[in-house]
Chains A and B, each alone.
Chain A
Amino acid sequence: MTATRPAFSLRDLAGAARAFPTGRSSLICFVKEDCNTCNLAAPVLEAFHRAWGDVADIWMLGQTADGNAILRDRHGLTLPILDDGALQTSLAWGFDIVPAVFWIAADGAPQPPLEGFSRQEWETLAKKISQDLQAPPAAVAWADLPEWRPGCGSKHLDPEIHDRLLAEAAGSPIRARRIEIAPADDIDEFMFDQGFSDGLPVVPPTPERVLRMLSGVRRDPQDIVAVVPPNMAPATVEKIAINAVMAGCRPEYLPVVIAAVEAVCTDEFNMHGVTATTMGASPVLVINGPIRQRIGMNMKLAALGNGNRANATIGRALRLVIRNLGGARPGGVDRSTMSSPMKFTMCFAEWEEGSPWDPLHVERGFQREDSVVTAFAMTSGPVQIVDQESRKPDQMGGTLGLGLEAMFLSKIHRMPVDALLVVCPEHVRTLTSDGGYSKARLRDRIQAVTSRPLREMVSNEVSGAGIPVASAAKMTEAMLASPAPKFADTKFIHIVVAGSEAGKFSAAFHGWVTGAAGSAVVSRKIDC
């Protein structure tokens, strides 16, 4: 029966609504005015209408309202020409090329459409229609028509239009609340006013942009990825995609953003505490595995800084998710005394190819070919560690240790706190100049060069920080003389390689309260 194609109701040139299915056999042809082949087809369709218009509906559907009147006047058409300027019917009927002709016989099986113009195909169709209707043939001078013309791409497939149409179509996966911004409102100012921004301009998350962003993953847009503190708001793939658009991400970054949201919204990472602390902690994201290269992340020159879209926007997208979905705002749950530019964005990739060691994700139990995001809760960084003079491996390791001693306060040792050491390639070369220099050896070296007698940590006139005098008074001389390295355990020292091949400047990020009482490092495999 006729319900083999999507129903529609469109207006003809006189403004009258015409609905499909009509209850009769129908020939529906989609055209656009500026297509030469459509103009070739129009008089043929007119002949069809004149021959069979009393027993069947022969309709042209034009893809621009203005073009329909032009087509009518140019060819003296009398057949109904309907306005599909909104292109939703074109989208629903799903063809690629105009003219696209659909013959829907009242009692026939659905026919595939003809796209473009093939004289043989059209003539065959005309014979079939004539037979189906048991009506005389249409008066078409077939021999005068060209054998073949290719047709034009349908307007609904125009890249600038197609995503919008999909977003507006009945089957759109978009579920988020739509916010209409009046023409008199400045859209950027509106988003600032609503508090959607971190203080920098954001890309307006229009439905078509969000739909394009969602093409970066295979997941259902309504899948709940995580529950985001502090508001404990469910983060669907769609909501993350909206914030990723605002941050400036490309669709291929979305899997990384999703994995980052998963990582920080865990009990172990404790995003609520990381947000709330007056110390001003924020996630630092390290990306490992093949996805680094695939999405063009920076892991070399200026790896920790500006200039690379993936690095900058992945970190920012995470922060916007925490802000907009989680509700974490300075002065609200975020009580940072100083805060940090890391609360805008902090994400980089490890230069695995420039490292003599297993990359971070392999150390943490993943396969080298896995793509992984690792989140550290850090309060400071990147802090540079400068050494242009050391030439021996242990000198270099010693420098990196002394650099890390500055964490929080150089006086304080035996800290059960994570540090992330980013060793630059030139420092790696010095470390390995005599052969291998394992991460374990480097960690031991850091602990050795930072070991000081415990008594140096006791509160004194120079600095009141450290072990209270009363507590120190209860300690034996041997205890006070015992060496205290910077870190309570080597497991708190995390090491990656990144940066330019020129320059002897490594960097460190300093942690927050580490472990069950605070935040633990969390890695998540990226689904890509």
Chain B
Amino acid sequence: MTTILDPTDERVPVARQITPRTGNISGVIGLLDISKPRGSVLLDELERLLAARYPDVETRRYAKPTFAKPCPSDLRLQIKSECTVLVEALAD
């Protein structure tokens, strides 16, 4: 953990900004299992519901090698290049 001091006038909270929400369900939806137990159960059900309600939507499944480490950059790039949106299942 590195600590730095805020160089600004501190009017704005320092935080990572959330990626803008798309507002609709279309394109390729990535389903990322972070490899925690039973994450696949949640994603299986989500994939079934998506297929039933949005037959035009394609889903693709991904899994992190381990939940204990950040997603490998190769996998991140692959998901980014293949998917419109990503659903990440934390589970337990």
Which residues of A come within 8 Å of B, CB atoms? Answer: 174, 176-184, 187, 191, 193-194, 196, 204-207, 210, 228, 231, 233-234, 238-239, 242-243, 246, 320, 324-325, 327
Contact = CB atoms under 8 A, between A and B. Distances in A.
B1 A182 contact: yes
Q: Is the interface of A mostly helix, strand, loop or mixed?
A: mixed
A207 B2 CA distance: 10
A324 B8 contact: yes
B55 to A, nearest CB: 38
Given A179-B14, A193-B16, A194-B14, A204 B4 contact: yes
Contacts of B9: 228, 231, 233-234, 239, 324-325, 327
Highest count of chain A CB atoms <10 Å: which of B1, B7, B16 = B7
B1 A207 contact: no
Given A179-B3, A196-B8, 16 more contacts: A174-B5, A177-B5, A178-B4, A187-B4, A191-B4, A193-B16, A206-B2, A206-B4, A206-B5, A210-B5, A233-B9, A233-B11, A239-B9, A246-B7, A324-B7, A325-B8
Given A184-B70, A193-B16, A194-B14, A179 B4 contact: yes
Contact of A180 (B3, B8, B11, B70): B3
Nearest to B2: A181
17 contacts: A174-B5, A176-B6, A177-B10, A177-B14, A178-B4, A178-B6, A179-B3, A179-B4, A179-B5, A179-B14, A181-B3, A194-B14, A206-B2, A206-B3, A231-B11, A242-B6, A325-B9
Contacts of A204: 2, 4
Interface of B: 1-11, 14, 16, 70
Contact of A242 (B2, B5, B16, B70): B5
A183 B2 CA distance: 7
A184 B68 CA distance: 12
B3 A207 contact: yes
A243 B8 CA distance: 9
B6 A179 contact: yes
Nearest to A164: B3
Contacts of A246: 7
Contacts of B4: 178-179, 181, 187, 191, 204-206
Contacts of B14: 177, 179, 194
B66 to A, nearest CB: 14
Contacts of B5: 174, 176-179, 205-207, 210, 238, 242
B7 A242 contact: yes
Nearest to A326: B9
B1 A180 contact: yes
Contacts of B1: 180-183
B48 to A, nearest CB: 33
A242 B3 CA distance: 13
Given A184-B70, A193-B16, A194-B14, A320 B7 contact: yes
Contacts of B70: 184
B44 to A, nearest CB: 29
Given A179-B14, A193-B16, A325 B3 contact: no
Nearest to A210: B5
A97 B4 CA distance: 31
Highest count of chain B CB atoms <10 Å: which of A180, A194, A207 = A194
A183 B1 CA distance: 5
A392 B70 CA distance: 72
A428 B5 CA distance: 47
